[in-house]
Amino acid sequence: MKAICVTPDRVLELRDIPMPTEPPPGYLLVDIEACAINHGDKTFLKAPQVAGGKLDARVHDVWGASASGRVVAVGPGAPLAYAGSQVAIYRGLQRDLPVLGLWCERAQVPYRTCLPLPQRLSTKEYSGSLVNVMTAYAFLEQVVAEGHAGVIATAGNSATGLALAALARRRRIPAIFLAPRRSCNAAASSTSSSIRMAFLASLPIWPHDLARRQSSTAWAAH
């Protein structure tokens, strides 16, 4: 099968590699329908030390961390409910696992890295969805651990910003979401004021209340 692999010189090349046919225990085989290209794919390619080198130990050196597709085989110990389902995938960072990177025709991944998608959803639209949610989740964990008063997201209308909004509201973490002027103008021309106000009201605290707080506020720029 075709796969995009990383070379020892940290560049990408198209290769022919064996297609997996029998998933190891706890693994799934997924026929990939769409792959996402995230900022991290470029960052970790040129600077693997950013992830502690955890992205290097992969079968056939196949690259890619986000994708979606349909499960074609379920390994021993993995839930049979995954069989035939379409899933969104985010490749894990654990070392020394028989994981095929996701930029290939058929991926081999632990079932715990796969999120089943309803059949009515498009796999293409959800090929990069998990990384955005996990980025937002990890950031809020850091915010809470460091005792910050709230969050300001400088890309508030991005996929990560929307995930951050939902998670912050659930955890009742004060948050402000900023967006580029052009995005705001576009939204203003197509969105009623009542809907915009409903979005502001959905925040756990109003911006002017947050500004009065004395303690520090974390910044999210993604």
pLDDT value, residue 135: 83
pLDDT value, residue 49: 67
- Mean pLDDT of all residues belonging to the chain: 78
Residues in Cβ contact with 62 at an 8 Å cutoff, skipping those fewer than 6 apart: 3, 4, 5, 17, 100, 101, 102, 103, 104
Mean pLDDT on 82-109? 85
For the full predicted model, state whether its pTM sits above 0.75.
Answer: no
- CATH architecture, range 2-127: Alpha-Beta Complex (3.90)
pLDDT value, residue 60: 85
CATH number of 130-220: 3.40.50
**Distance, first Cα to last Cα, the chain:** 34
Query: For residue range 43-80, what is the model confidence (pLDDT) as tens digits?
Result: 778 877 665 555 554 678 898 889 999 999 999 999 99
pLDDT value, residue 104: 94
- Domain spans, the chain: 2-127, 130-220
DSSP letter for 63, please: -
Using CB atoms within 10 A of its CB, is residue 195 exposed (0-12), middle (13-18) or buried (19+)?
A: exposed
Among 48, 28, 139, which residue's Cα sits nearest to residue 89? 28
DSSP letter for 23, please: P
Residue 64 has a CB neighbour count (10 Å cut-off) of: 25
Using CB atoms within 10 A of its CB, is residue 100 exposed (0-12), middle (13-18) or buried (19+)?
A: buried
Using CB atoms within 10 A of its CB, is residue 110 exposed (0-12), middle (13-18) or buried (19+)?
A: buried
Residue 151 has a CB neighbour count (10 Å cut-off) of: 23
In sequence order, the β-bridge partners of residue 67 are: 35, 89
Query: For residue range 179-196, what is the model confidence (pLDDT) as tens digits?
Result: 876 655 554 444 443 333
